[in-house]
Amino acid sequence: MNILVLNSSNYYFTPLNVWLKDFTGNVICLTPKGHLNSYQENIKEKNYKFISIENWHDYWEVENLACALHKKYKFDKILSFREFDLKRAGDLRDLLNIAGQSKHSAQCFRDKDVMKETVRKQGIKTPDFQLLESYSDLYSFIENIGFPIIIKPNDGAGSVNTNKVSNLQELETLIKQNNILNYIAEEFIDGEMYHVDGMVLNKEIQLAIPSKYINGCMEFKKGVSTASMWLQKSDILYQKLIEYTEEVIKSMPKPDNFTFHLEVFVKNNELIFCEIASRTGGGRIPEAIEKKYGIHITKEVARVEAGLSSLNNYDQLISASKNNELLGWVLSCPKVGILKSMPEKIPYEWVVDYHQFAKIGSQFTGSNSSVFSTAAFICVADNPKVLVERIELVDEWFKEICEYE
């Protein structure tokens, strides 16, 4: 078996030789030029080959090279892990007749208008929405829905360029600063945001973890750190979210194996669909799951796709964990300025993971994405109240101790 990997992540996030350590076929990885060294420095196995792409957003360069490589290697699988690579991988699978997620499936998980229409046809409630193919579409939508509305890229991720627009003045300012054609306009839902993360293997949901955003992705643009916490199994919404996840995934055209990140509004105890992705959620979602259960969901899917053995005993691993221990994470929002120092250690034993994203000397002018942060923390506690307090405490402590100029 030979595998093509379309990978816009660096080695830290996708250590392929660790995930596929007993794979003996060829692994050909296309990656942006800036990530090439991270792979070459860490992967010495001779069955791995890395090819850098000058412009990762040049579809022709990537797909033309992939087709040329297929003539030599006859790929059996194509792997991709990030939101922006899914449709490209689907295109290539269709073109080269390779099993896995098709272009249509990727589009349903990727393009928000297609996604929402797909689940709506199955009776799942969504906010009202309109793909903005013209400014007339936008004004017609506002006439019908009124303010506030959400305007965001139809194929966006991580709340990049996501805007809440509350009045005509804000709308005019947004239009002057951005070309919003082919964005999507949505009804604003004034509710709390939850997410469910997990994996599907061999067409069955093997793991699904409901969580609640403490500070939503939209708040990050206001200088508030994005944070999330797991729900207790006794929470009234826990089982309801599990069953809802099953319903949503059932409604989608999907591959046999994939990770997922589902976001759901909850308003007056009603669940309203926000969006779902056929990839692992951001923040510290996979790291928290691995801390708790010893299961890295992206790794498990990659191994199954590569024809390798997986853990299989997921129920046993979950049962063996400390069932009363809740996990939560926070992406600490940077201040404006040049970062001069960050702490090397955290003085709280309940912080079980600390990862620095920023480098000393980095300049910050603001945040435009919920996954853009200086550092991240995973915290543990025995109950939700204490967990929220700990997440807020470590975030405030970190912001105060970091030095900027």
Q: How many domains does the chain have?
A: 3
pLDDT, tens only, 185-211? 999 999 999 999 999 999 999 999 999
Mean pLDDT of 28-53: 97
**Domain end (from 169, 187, 205):** 187
Q: What local confidence, expressed as pLDDT, does residue 318 receive?
A: 80
User: C-alpha angle with apex 292: 287 to 294, nearest 5 degrees?
Assistant: 75
Mean pLDDT of 347-376: 87
Kindly report the CATH number assigned to the domain that includes residue 95.
Answer: 3.40.50.20
Residue 118 lies in a domain: no
Q: Respond yes or no on whether the N-terminal peptide bond of residue 15 is cis (omega within 30° of 0).
A: no
CA distance 361 to 136: 45
- When computed from its CA atoms, the radius of gyration of the chain, rounded to whole angstroms, is 21
With a cut of 60, say whether residue 220 has pLDDT above it. Answer: no
355 shares its domain with 255? yes
Within a 13 Å sphere around the CA of 378, how many CA atoms are in the beta-carbon half?
17
User: C-alpha angle with apex 111: 126 to 152, nearest 5 degrees?
Assistant: 75
- Whether 16 and 28 have beta carbons less than 8 Å apart is answered as no
Q: Respond yes or no on whether the N-terminal peptide bond of residue 148 is cis (omega within 30° of 0).
A: yes
**Domain end (from 159, 187, 215):** 187
Residue 360 lies in a domain: yes
172 shares its domain with 210? no
**Domain end (from 162, 187, 212):** 187
**What range does the domain containing 9 cover?**
3-100
Instruction: Give residue for tokens 């506030």.
Output: 148
Mean pLDDT of 39-50: 98
Pseudo-torsion of CA 71, 72, 77, 82, nearest 10°? -90
- Whether 7 and 14 have beta carbons less than 8 Å apart is answered as yes
Q: What local confidence, expressed as pLDDT, does residue 222 receive?
A: 61
CA distance 19 to 297: 11
H or E element in which residue 293 lies: helix 285-293
Q: What local confidence, expressed as pLDDT, does residue 316 receive?
A: 78
Q: What local confidence, expressed as pLDDT, does residue 247 receive?
A: 99
With a cut of 80, say whether residue 371 has pLDDT above it. Answer: no
CA distance 35 to 53: 10
pLDDT, tens only, 307-326? 998 877 787 788 777 668 99
User: C-alpha angle with apex 175: 179 to 112, nearest 5 degrees?
Assistant: 55
Q: What local confidence, expressed as pLDDT, does residue 230 receive?
A: 97
Q: What local confidence, expressed as pLDDT, does residue 303 receive?
A: 97
CA distance 361 to 331: 19
Q: What local confidence, expressed as pLDDT, does residue 315 receive?
A: 78
Residue type, 230: W
Q: What local confidence, expressed as pLDDT, does residue 61 receive?
A: 93
DSSP 134: S
Residue 123 lies in a domain: no
**pTM summary value:** 0.94
Confidence of residue 365 (pLDDT cuts 50, 70, 90): confident
Residue 379 lies in a domain: yes
Residue 250 lies in a domain: yes
Task: Extract the tokens encoding 277.
Answer: 């992705």
Kindly report the CATH number assigned to the domain that includes residue 392.
Answer: 3.30.470.20
With a cut of 60, say whether residue 217 has pLDDT above it. Answer: no
Q: What local confidence, expressed as pLDDT, does residue 368 receive?
A: 55
Residue 316 lies in a domain: yes
Instruction: Give residue for tokens 């073109």.
Output: 95
311 shares its domain with 392? yes
Residue 114 lies in a domain: no
Task: Extract the tokens encoding 156.
Answer: 């966006």
Q: Which of 339, 336, 337, 334 is nearest to 361 (CA)?
A: 339
62 shares its domain with 174? no
Q: What local confidence, expressed as pLDDT, does residue 215 receive?
A: 78
